[in-house]
A and B are shown apart, each in its own frame.
Chain A
């Protein structure tokens, strides 16, 4: 099974290597409730706008260093004027354009029976599983650019240091609903498995 097909595996496959009883518990794993979901497609535009801002800021800084505006020229003398800043802009712009496309393709999240499941990452790919029993508090965050697009970010915290999971690019209303749902989840401790 390849890593890229993992999403299918996570939702459907419960098989285990033969002769290894260690995995037997996976067998009766519940299906993902509703299955894994993508982010809101608007998140790409949001990321693109953010990337454009990065490009302007970094490109501007590079241009200053390149042309010697306000600061001494920081680029080796042999380089033609404009070469360095052009290079910086091309690299940053490429990442800002391509990055959101890959990230959007890569991002999935699911509210499963017992836990929140998040897949993400471009270079370092990861899948986080955050059991609802471990949730300490749940936030939604919305920056100024995200507000323009009507997007919000869901942030969950456990006792582990730092943020345990975040889901960016949710429709603002939906993020609220998700937050409330997670915040009021009572862990199902009653029935034995």
Chain B
């Protein structure tokens, strides 16, 4: 494939695809409807507004230029205030393609570029033709050059080292390699698009496709709604039928007194129906947004394709993945299911980006852990056996449950002492017990949810009872190690080890909660030593990174 005219990929400043006008128009359908209505009432005002909107759109289109330089993507835009945005390749974390309904009608895609250090999406190209978008994504996420080769020589895809890829057979087929090509810094005058398209490494292997029925299960067991629904189902089974009938029967009554027992019952029934409605909607939403969820991989990137109406194609290079997390909430744990997320710096979790961090919305336990292991390059299979925290961590949780129960009992006791006669005192004991028993069960669960292990190049930590999160961190992604102790932990001789990685601003760092204080400190030192002075194996990768930069050593899935 060769391109007759130099395009944006060859450094030529280019407008967006003209279809972007249609995309913006379709996305602005609401305002257009408003204008039409207005036009019906006050024709002049409506026409004026329409003219302004159309003019703005056209100006925005005319002012917008983007181009790909060897080491950066450059976007010029702005109607009144002109902006130039230079997104350097080494800062780019992920490139996501999105096709909403309007894009589909017009046959274009939107490209979103997420970069480190940005609050939201750093670069957005609202409409690009699909082939260009694909090539752009490949170039932007392509392997950077090794040490010695200048960054600016981005017209060749970075070469790969057989040791690093773990796929020696494929690597030998590659025509270009760092060792064969002197890093002279000269520009290769070959259109970027044609070269990237010919490159054999773009072959994508489909790893998993999630069938629709699985997505229904995902929706039914996902998040808080799933847990709440399970509780409701439990209630339906345990509460006698006539209770419900009574509640429903009184629904017809006008203005129920909320203080009466019947009134409360009606409210409860209504609330449960609202919950069921929400549950149903959430299942439908999950199925739609994750429709045809496909996880694929190349040697350097992971790709996710999903969505029924709005199609997403998200791509994350392995070397940008900071950590991988397996999520198993209570319901899913019972069913032997889980989900996998990645932690990528710079990809904001804000609006429009929900779920972009999901590698698999639902999967069987062994499958989910296999993906997590492969992505971080940890050999073996299944959930790694984790070390338990010391007994004191369990005591701490039991004490917490006791205190919570005591507080509730004390509050009930105050009410009883103030208002009711002595025959109500057993109620205090009931209150205490009814908080204590589930509290203790949660405490035990929370303790069992805690765990840690050190696999040399990888650390695995887990916590959580209602939603157990098992996080896999690679040593070479760690930025700062911190042990901390709050006063309660101090009492029990416990400490938390925080494993700080580059992550979205709002995300939380992986941590090992409630280790023994001793162990936490020793572990911190042992890990810090491996980070500060990498082992022989990771030293190869380090040579490819700027001295003080983030370690961007190659991170490939295990073979």
Is there an interface contact between A161 and B502, defined as CB atoms closer than 8 Å? yes
Is there an interface contact between A131 and B532, defined as CB atoms closer than 8 Å? yes
* Chain A contacts for B487, CB-based, 8 A: 123-124
Chain B positions 497-539 with a Cβ under 8 Å from a chain A Cβ: 500-505, 509, 517-519, 521-526, 528-536, 539
Q: Does B479 contact A (CB under 8 A)?
A: yes
Query: Known contacts A125-B485, A159-B550; is A25 also within 8 Å of B529 by CB?
Result: yes
Q: Size class of A's contact patch?
A: 35 or more
Bound CA–CA A188/B535 (angstroms): 12
* Chain A contacts for B534, CB-based, 8 A: 133, 189
Is there an interface contact between B525 and A10, defined as CB atoms closer than 8 Å? yes
Q: Does B542 contact A (CB under 8 A)?
A: yes
* Chain A contacts for B519, CB-based, 8 A: 17
- Chain A, residues 150-168, CB within 8 Å of chain B (1/0): the string is 0000000011111011000
B contact face: mostly helix, strand, loop, or mixed:
mixed
Query: Known contacts A25-B529, A26-B529, A159-B502; is A187 also within 8 Å of B547 by CB?
Result: yes
Interface size on B, residues (CB 8 A): 49
Bound CA–CA A126/B483 (angstroms): 5
Is there an interface contact between B480 and A16, defined as CB atoms closer than 8 Å? no
- Give how many A-B residue pairs fall within 8 Å (CB-CB): 129
Is there an interface contact between B480 and A128, defined as CB atoms closer than 8 Å? yes
Q: Does B345 contact A (CB under 8 A)?
A: yes
Query: Known contacts A127-B524, A136-B548; is A160 also within 8 Å of B501 by CB?
Result: yes
Q: Does B12 contact A (CB under 8 A)?
A: no
Bound CA–CA A115/B481 (angstroms): 10
Query: Known contacts A115-B532, A134-B480, A188-B533; is A1 also within 8 Å of B525 by CB?
Result: no
Is there an interface contact between B480 and A130, defined as CB atoms closer than 8 Å? yes
* Chain B contacts for A129, CB-based, 8 A: 480-482, 524-525, 528
* Chain A contacts for B345, CB-based, 8 A: 159, 161
Query: Known contacts A160-B502, A164-B479; is A133 also within 8 Å of B522 by CB?
Result: no
Is there an interface contact between B532 and A127, defined as CB atoms closer than 8 Å? no
Q: Does A72 contact B (CB under 8 A)?
A: no
* Chain B contacts for A81, CB-based, 8 A: none
Query: Known contacts A159-B345, A188-B533; is A125 also within 8 Å of B518 by CB?
Result: no
Is there an interface contact between A9 and B526, defined as CB atoms closer than 8 Å? no
* Chain A contacts for B505, CB-based, 8 A: 161-162
| Residue contacts A-B, CB under 8 angstroms, 23 given | A1-B517, A3-B490, A3-B495, A17-B518, A22-B454, A23-B526, A26-B525, A26-B529, A29-B525, A124-B487, A125-B490, A126-B482, A127-B524, A128-B482, A129-B528, A130-B480, A133-B532, A134-B478, A135-B548, A136-B549, A161-B503, A164-B480, A164-B500
Q: A160-B509, A187-B547 are in contact. List 18 more A-B contacts (CB 8 A).
A: A1-B518, A3-B493, A3-B517, A114-B532, A125-B485, A125-B490, A126-B483, A127-B484, A127-B521, A128-B482, A159-B116, A160-B479, A164-B479, A164-B480, A165-B480, A188-B533, A189-B534, A189-B542
Q: Which 10 A-B pairs have the closest CB atoms?
A: A114-B532, A126-B484, A159-B502, A131-B532, A160-B479, A158-B479, A129-B528, A160-B500, A128-B482, A159-B550
